[in-house]
Structure 1
Amino acid sequence: MASSTKRVAIITGAAQGIGRGIAQRLAKDGLDLGLFDVPGCRDMLEELASSLRQDFDAKVLTVYGDVSVESDVKGLVETVTQEFGDLYAMIANAGICCWHELHETPTDLVDQLLNVNIKGVFFCYKYGAMQLIKQGKGGRMIGATSIVGKRGSRGQSVYSATKFAVRGLTQSAAMEYGKYGITVNAYAPGAVDTPLLWKVDEDRCAATGLPKGSWAGGVVKQYDNALGRAGQPEDIAKVVSFLVSDDAAFVTGQSFTVDGGKHFD
């Protein structure tokens, strides 16, 4: 990081999976962190925060709430900036997934996907942008899309639609906030060995009658991509580390595929 002062990043969905990997990498990079997750993840998030303070001498603040609730995201930004000062990066990582064909997707699940994956990113961008504009120093906003946000996937119709939406939000926001020195980008993972992958396994195996764990286990061991493996959270975190750094100052509006070579742009 080419900076004489420590920067501050907010990471949503930070307790596990990709969010946890991003927190570990950015703490290693020297950033102070505001970590956000739902109250049910409190034990995991507090354990992570403690390890980051010990291993990297980072300042870490934990905040709890729901990204789909506007007041929670507004309060998140206010709490972190009151504690640490100016914000530099908003990383809208939180998301949920499912595996249902379109006509079998329950309406309440559609609402959850839209609320968390679209509204959650929207609120993070909204209040991240408002804070960064007020500060007048530029900054970074980064969202979580997916390879199925670039090409639809069977069994993931609604999830795919939400991830296409994140790309649209990211591209439009990049055009709106470039004049303030704010870059807006996204990362598009393929299969990554996280609790989210195993949740998809649960859905797929229930639908097909396969033994639980058989699908995700196969993906982790031998994934259908050029590198022959599923990703690990640190694989995605390395890309986020670049997007947050000064080296990415001229990169905006992009959604970076990180999938080991399954889909090519």
Structure 2
Amino acid sequence: MAPMPFRMNSVFMLPRWTRSIHNTTTHLRSFTTTRLRAQSDSRSAIVTGAGRGIGRAIALRLAQDGFDICVNDLDKNIEDVNNVVKEIHLLGRSSVAFCGDVSSMTSVQEMIAASVAGLGPLNVMVANAGIAQVGWPMEIKEADMRRMFEVNVFGVVNSSIAAAQQFIKQGTKGKILNAASGVSFRTDPLLPMYSASKAAVRSITQSFAIELGKHGITVNGYAPGIVQSAMWEHIDTEMGKINGLPQGENFNAFTKSIALRRTSIPEDAAKLVSYLAGPDSDYVTGQTILVDGGLVYN
């Protein structure tokens, strides 16, 4: 028998291995929040890689916009996920946590089932999860390259396919938003596989937009630049091992190349996602929009 969802601080936790999802709608209606709406009026979104950084900012911004949120990240980041869920609850929205790996289609399908069971019909899928690796192209290891593409490319493909299937099953329109990267369009020599994987997301976004347009489903990408986040701290550190620059210097060196003369914060990307997830972007599809302060011109 599949494990039952359990309540933790007024938030439902659904384990990633849950295959038979029990309906929790009646319990969710009893949540004590500062702002509850009828189930028929609610909107829900899934944000992958939402434990911290850009994903967290997106989840919180969409909650502020009136979405109930399924917060996804890896098992090892469960504490971060729980904290984001609590923050969303404090904003007056319902939320479920789901830990799983987007590189697995089965895990993505279970995540969507958990979200629908806990929050109602799906409206927006934000395929935000991603990883970065630093190194010269000739020194990339096969295992590292495979993992990069499993998460950054297959994770987007899995999320797009499973979300589209759910939208079609519901008989509703929907929005799919994929994380690309402005840096990938510049093809940084120390981020070859990261750049390649994120460039692939752009083509995948266009392909899905063409196929799913007939169903009223829009598919777009958002491409952050140099963001103050844990991922860029990792990139900065790894670059320093190669070029010898002290901690922070690689990150700061990008500033002079940015028109607005500042690096980005996660909320910059979240604002763009807010637009793409809302009704004002209903006639926008197949586009990957840069939000990098003027680092790349495309």
Mark yes or no: TM-score above 0.5. yes
The answer as to 2:158 corresponding to 1:123 is yes
Structure 2 match to 1:209: 244
Q: Distance in 2 between matches of 1:215 and 1:34?
A: 34
Deviation, 1:218, is: 4.9
What's the Cα RMSD here? Answer: 1.2
Task: List runs of 5+ in structure 1 lacking aligned partners.
Answer: none
2:132, 2:148 within 8 Å by CA — same for their partners in 1?
yes
Structure 2 match to 1:174: 209
Deviation, 1:263, is: 1.4
Structural mapping, 1:11-160, within 5 Å:
11-54=47-90, 56-160=91-195
Moved >3 Å (runs of 4+): none
Q: Distance in 2 between matches of 1:262 and 1:83?
A: 40
Q: Report the residue type matching 1:33 in the other structure.
A: I
Identity of aligned residues (%): 38
Equivalences, count: 259
Q: Report the residue type matching 2:59 in the other structure.
A: A
Structure 1 match to 2:269: 236
1:249 to 282, 286, 293: 282
Deviation, 1:9, is: 0.2
Structure 1 match to 2:41: 5
TM-score for both structures, normalised by structure 2 = 0.84
1:74, 1:127 within 8 Å by CA — same for their partners in 2?
yes
1:223, 1:230 within 8 Å by CA — same for their partners in 2?
no
Deviation, 1:217, is: 4.7
Task: List runs of 5+ in structure 2 lacking aligned partners.
Answer: 1-39
Q: Deviations over 1:79-119 (max 9, x none)?
A: 11111111000000000012211001121110110100001
Deviation, 1:207, is: 1.2
Q: Bigger shift: 126-135 or 208-217?
A: 208-217
2:71, 2:84 within 8 Å by CA — same for their partners in 1?
no
Cα distance, 1:43–1:217 mapped onto 2, change above 3 Å: farther
1:225, 1:260 within 8 Å by CA — same for their partners in 2?
yes
Q: Report the residue type matching 1:140 in the other structure.
A: K
Q: Report the residue type matching 1:99 in the other structure.
A: V
Q: Distance in 1 between matches of 2:267 and 2:251?
A: 18
Larger radius of gyration: 2
